[in-house]
Amino acid sequence: VVGTVSKTFGLSKIFGSDMFVTPSLSTSHRDNYYGKNGIGYVQGGVELAAKRKNFSLSTFLNYVGALKDDFREGFDGGVKAEVSF
């Protein structure tokens, strides 16, 4: 089971694009046959997005705090581009 809490906040307009920031916090809980039970990780992150008409561009950065041995701890991030039709 994975649970996520996030909220998007509107910032301002820059060069005609609407800007948004979305902080988030998620965690996982598991109960399986192999005895690896409990909370596996806690992840916090932030996404910054720019939207204009049918195009959006965003960048995100997350940190995973591993609470079990089989999860890797560290940062991940990236860039997303979306076009809606």
pLDDT reading at 56 higher than 90 = yes
Query: What pLDDT does 57 receive?
Result: 95
Q: Pick the residue with more confidence: 76 or 2? A: 76
Alpha carbons 25 and 3: distance in angstroms, whole number:
8
Unique residue bearing structure tokens 């039709």 = 85
pLDDT at residue 63 tops 90: yes
User: pLDDT digits over 16-27, tens only?
Assistant: 899 999 999 999
Q: What is the pTM of this model?
A: 0.77
Distance CA 22, CA 63 (A): 14
Query: Mean pLDDT, the chain, as a whole number?
Result: 88
